[in-house]
Amino acid sequence: MKTVAQKIFRPRNKRLSRKTPNDAMEAHPSNIETAAQMDNIQHLPTPPSVARDISHHLEAVMERAHHGGGWLLSGIICINILILGCALVSGSAFNSVAITAVHRQIFLIILLLLTMTWMLFYAAVTARKDQAILFKDSHAGPVWLRAGLLLFGLLSLIMDIFKIATYVGYLHCDSAVKVAFPVVQAVFLLIQTYFLWIHAKDCVQLQTNFTRCGLTLMLSTNLVVWMAAVTEESIHQTEIPELNVNISHKMYRAQFGNKKCKCSHSACDTFKDAFYYLYPFNIEYSLFASAMAYVMWKNVGRLVEDHSHHSVTFRLKDVCLGPLTGILLVVAGLVTFILYEVYILKEDEEYRNDGLLIHFIMNIVIVSMMSLSTVIGCIVYRLDHREHVSEKNPTRSLDVGLLVGASMGQFIISYFTIVAVVATGARGHLNALNLSWAVLTVLQLGLQNYFIIEGLHREPYHVMREAALHSNAHVLPEHTEMSVVMESNKSTYFLTPSLDDKLSWKRRVLKEVCAFLLLANIILWIMPAFGARPQFDHPVEIHFYKFAMWAAIVNIGLPFGIFYRMHSVASLFEVYVIS
């Protein structure tokens, strides 16, 4: 306890003494309060739980004291870059005369160069100083996020190489900026991925204002890149003639390009075809980087107890039904996914309908099973009387916010599908299946969000056991006034399951459900991430909303949906461990 308090006070005292040369402490009200609290913590015979609470409170006070005007300034910078970027991207998309893709790319190059300069400065100067990073947030930048960043970064890099190869062929008749942009972006990808891999967990304590501004610059750069990529992808898809939409969309991708300016080398079309396939990965990469930059921004100036990460053992031997069904589902999903991909590329209408049929049925089966198991999990939660975690945890709130926010993408696609199919009468078995899939997906998303958030807010089992043992061993003999509370028959509830090693049926059911949902989310992630786009292969929505609008909805919604599935897998793993 004492060490944490000392650690918190060290940098602040240093700053104070630098400001007042006569070494007298300033009599700011907050200092008086904290001094009194310190005193209280060290001398009064407070029970351990109160001391812990006060330390939390103290932490919060110190945290807020560190908030200067920097967060405000950085927020204003972020808003300005984002809205200017939005205006430029919309302008270049809807007006082909005055603002072209070249203007937008020049703006992006400037942003990328600025962000790179800041990242290099941070890595070379700020992070090297003593006292700069006293704390690391163990929850920030989890392994799935960093692995995803690396994977999508690699694919984006390949996209940039293809882009460079393509536009080099157009250099004699098109702007050189079209080659410069992917070159700068490739360098940016390397630097940013390295930066986030190393520094994602930092809670910066020095130059906080400058760092905040740098991080929002990074955040807004990634979001502008994301906007630009989404718009470009949508425009590219819209170039497909609308009359042919009921023949597969994918076959028409490569045929449309710049008509006036001819490419000087023969591999142009292949490269162009290839890099448009890789666009979704770049969109995903920007979202990942934005999420990590946002978490870093939130962590600037934060003081966290660097408590040793509870070494929870991940054991699978207690559960079997969940993982088994899950693995079967993943295998079945992969098989149908490959069948779908093969069928959908055939010329024959029959085959393509079969492919869609298989895909729809498989998805309905997966989503129904997931909904069912989530309902079981929710019922167990109602029966289980585990306490909710009461202490505030910014990382968890952020995690929950990202989860719910990302789920919006899939929500939007599903609801737009429902409206389109219902409005057109849902004739034919394909439409009926499409509608069922959309309705069940909405249901599944709602249930899963509830299940994960509820699970994350429950007291972890191992902490509960420790608390129970601790209160038994120490608190009772010392504080007799608390024995009244402890004598209630409820206290045995906590102690009984902690002593035997066998899982209670409730915990076991929860673990089974988590394991199953985790695997099901993996297969639901694989299918869209690796190219399944039934939204474009099935004509109802395209006819209903017109191609441009539907392409925009899917291109904005689907990357969030993919992000949501990955995030769910990580969150479900956490829920599995603490159940």
What does the block give as tokens for 268? 């142009």
Site pattern 485..524 for a copy of itself (x: CB under 8 A): xxxxxxx--x------------------------------
Bridging pattern class, strands 135-136 and 202-203? antiparallel
Q: Which stretch binds a copy of itself (CB under 8 A): 87-95, 235-243, 349-357, 369-377?
A: 87-95
Q: Which stretch binds a copy of itself (CB under 8 A): 152-160, 272-280, 385-393, 500-508?
A: 385-393
- Piece of the chain touching a copy of itself by CB under 8 A; list 58-66, 238-246, 247-255, 303-311: 58-66
Q: Between residues 253 and 479, which has the closer beta carbon with respect to a copy of itself?
A: 479
The alpha-helical segments, DSSP class H, found in 70-207 are 70-94, 101-124, 143-168, 177-199
Residue type, 267: A
Assign 135 to helix, strand or coil: strand
Minimum distance from CB of 133 to a copy of itself (Å)?
24
Q: What is the CA 526 to chain-centroid distance, rounded?
A: 16
Kindly tell me which residue out of 3, 18, 21, 29 binds a copy of itself, with binding defined by CB under 8 A: 29
Q: Does 261 bind a copy of itself (CB under 8 A)?
A: no
The helix, strand and coil proportions of the chain, stated in percent and rounded to the nearest 5, come to 75, 0, 25
Length of the chain, in residues? 579
* Minimal distance, residue 490 CB to a copy of itself, in Å: 5
Query: Considering only 40-48, 160-168, 263-271, 364-372, which stretch makes contact with a copy of itself by CB under 8 A?
Result: 40-48
Q: What crossing angle do the helices spanning 70-94 and 208-238 adopt, rounded to 10°? A: 20
Angle among Cα 388, 391, 392 to the nearest 5 degrees reads 115
Cα of 291 vs its chain's centroid, Å: 6
Between 100 and 325, name the residue whose CB sits nearer to a copy of itself. Answer: 100
Asked if 79 touches a copy of itself (CB under 8 A), the answer is yes
Distance CA 134, CA 66 (A): 14
Q: How far is the CB of 500 from a copy of itself (least distance, A)?
A: 20
What DSSP state is assigned to residue 388?
B
Q: What is the DSSP string of 489-535?
A: TTHHHHHHHHHS-SPPHHHHHHHHHHHHHHHHHHHHHHHHHTT--HH
Helical segments of 239-261, H only: none
| Sequence-separated (6 or more) residues with CB below 8 Å from residue 390 | none
What Å distances lie between residue 225 and 221, 470, 508, CA to CA?
Answer: 6, 52, 45
Residue (222 or 410) nearer to a copy of itself, CB: 410
The first and second tokens of residue 317, run together, are 């031997």
Rank residues 98 and 143 by Cβ distance to a copy of itself and give the closer one.
98
Site string for a copy of itself, 331-370 (x = CB under 8 A): ----------------------------------------
Residue 265 three-state SS = coil
Window 89-118: contact mask with a copy of itself (x via CB under 8 A): -xx--xx--xx---x---------------
Residues between 397 and 456 that touch a copy of itself (CB under 8 A): 404, 408, 411-412, 415-416, 418-420, 423-424, 442, 446, 449-450, 453-454
Given candidates 1, 83, 147, 342, which one binds a copy of itself under the rule CB under 8 A?
Answer: 83
Interaction between residue 15 and a copy of itself (CB under 8 A): no
x/- track of binding to a copy of itself for residues 59-78 (CB under 8 A):
-xx--xx-x-x--xx-xx--
Alpha carbons 558 and 563: distance in angstroms, whole number: 9
Binding-site member from 285, 343, 545, 563 for a copy of itself (CB under 8 A): 545
DSSP state of 202: E
Please give the structure tokens belonging to residue 498.
């902690």
**Residue 164 binding a copy of itself, by CB under 8 A:** no
Shortest spacing between CB 502 and a copy of itself, in angstroms? 23
Does residue 265 bind a copy of itself (CB under 8 A)? Answer: no
When asked if residue 13 is in the footprint of a copy of itself (CB under 8 A), the reply is no
State yes or no: residue 31 binds a copy of itself (CB under 8 A): yes
Q: Which stretch binds a copy of itself (CB under 8 A): 6-14, 31-39, 141-149, 257-265?
A: 31-39
Residues binding a copy of itself: number (CB under 8 A)? 91
Residue 473 contacts residue 502 (beta carbons within 8 Å): no
- Give the integer Cα–Cα distance in Å for 134 and 360: 51
Binding of a copy of itself by 482 (CB under 8 A): yes
Per the structure block, which two tokens stand in for 258?
A: 């710049």
Instruction: Report the site for a copy of itself in 275-304 (rule: CB under 8 A).
Output: none
Instruction: Find the shortest distance in angstroms from Cβ 518 to a copy of itself.
Output: 21
Radius of gyration of the chain (CA): 28
Distance of CA 570 to the CA centre of its chain: 10
18 binding a copy of itself? (CB under 8 A): no
User: Considering the complex, what minimum distance in angstroms separates the CB of residue 95 from a copy of itself?
Assistant: 6
Site for a copy of itself in 183-212 (CB under 8 A): none
Q: How crowded is the C-beta side of 54, counted as CA atoms within 13 Å?
A: 20
256 scored as a contact of a copy of itself (CB under 8 A): no
Q: Kindly state whether residue 161 participates in binding a copy of itself, applying the rule CB under 8 A.
A: no
Question: Is residue 459 close enough to count as binding a copy of itself by CB under 8 A?
Answer: yes
Stretch that binds a copy of itself, among 39-47, 319-327, 514-522, 567-575 (CB under 8 A): 39-47
